[in-house]
Structure 1
């Protein structure tokens, strides 16, 4: 009986090691995706806040882009492609307590293409696109021109 089971451990290891390595690679992808999504959300929040305290629509757009770049750099996230859209249409509206139910806001949407090219993954998964958006009310006490 002992002769028949000889070599079964090596067959089990041969089958289980690739499965284990695949699980480790998938855990790395999932972990990188979660950390990157959080970084994108923080960047969108920072950008909306920076835009909301700006004095002009042009400055709001520039400040939002700068805030996204700084936030992602501080968090160590390098996007293969980065897009920042800032909606500053409410800068034309008066700021103040005229309509507290519908205050003027600035919205920022950040889209990042996250690359997995450095991970040894089987199959076609080499990148994913992550998006986050945040809206912040315009600062009432900041003068605008």
Structure 2
């Protein structure tokens, strides 16, 4: 009686052809997700820095300039290229009398291309918007 045996040669190569692309895709998604998270954190940091810079200004006009300059410098330091970067400064707190509690708020909106932050050649873009507030100096002078 003869016994038939199966030949397993080539099975590993076939398995690798299936497994390797799946691993590459999973690792690529993890890297892209991490880089998008870092970009989001960079925009949040820019908003917080801009709000702090605006809170140190003596007036609303000076606060807007300080916030825009701080946000632009921070985004540049983070290596984020926004298309376009929008900085909206809420200076209603400056209308309150000195000695009262007031805040200044900054909203930073940054549209980034996915090719810049995730995988080169990846089409599409993502808009990141964050808001930060900072307390005005209670005893500021005008």
Fold equivalence (TM over 0.5): yes
Whether 2:62 is the aligned partner of 1:59: answer: yes
CA contact (8 A) 1:86 1:108 kept: yes
Displacement of 1:82 after TM fit? Answer: 1.5
- What corresponds to 1:29 in structure 2? 32
SS of the aligned residue for 1:128 comes to strand
Consecutive unaligned residues of structure 1, counting only runs of 5 or more, are 98-102
Which residue in 1 is equivalent to 2:102?
104
Following TM superposition, by how much is the alpha carbon of 1:120 offset from its aligned partner in structure 2, in angstroms?
Answer: 5.3
The answer to whether 1:136 aligns with 2:137 is: no
1-structure distance, mates of 2:47, 2:89: 10
Per the normalisation by structure 1, the TM-score is 0.84
Quote how far apart the aligned CAs of 1:126 are.
2.4
Aligned-residue Cα RMSD (Å) equals 1.9
Counterpart secondary structure, 1:113:
strand
Q: Alpha-carbon deviation of 1:2?
A: 5.0
Deviations 1:96-128 (A, max 9, x none): 14xxxxx21110011112221251577xx6222
Q: How does 1:107-118 map to 2 (within 5 A)?
A: 107-117=105-115
Moved over 3 A (4+): none
The 1-side partners of 2:136 and 2:65 are apart by: 16
- How far apart in 2 are the matches of 1:47 and 1:11? 55
Which TM-score applies when normalising by structure 2?
Answer: 0.85
State the structure with more CA Rg. 2
Q: 1:80 to 1:133 in 2, by over 3 A?
A: same
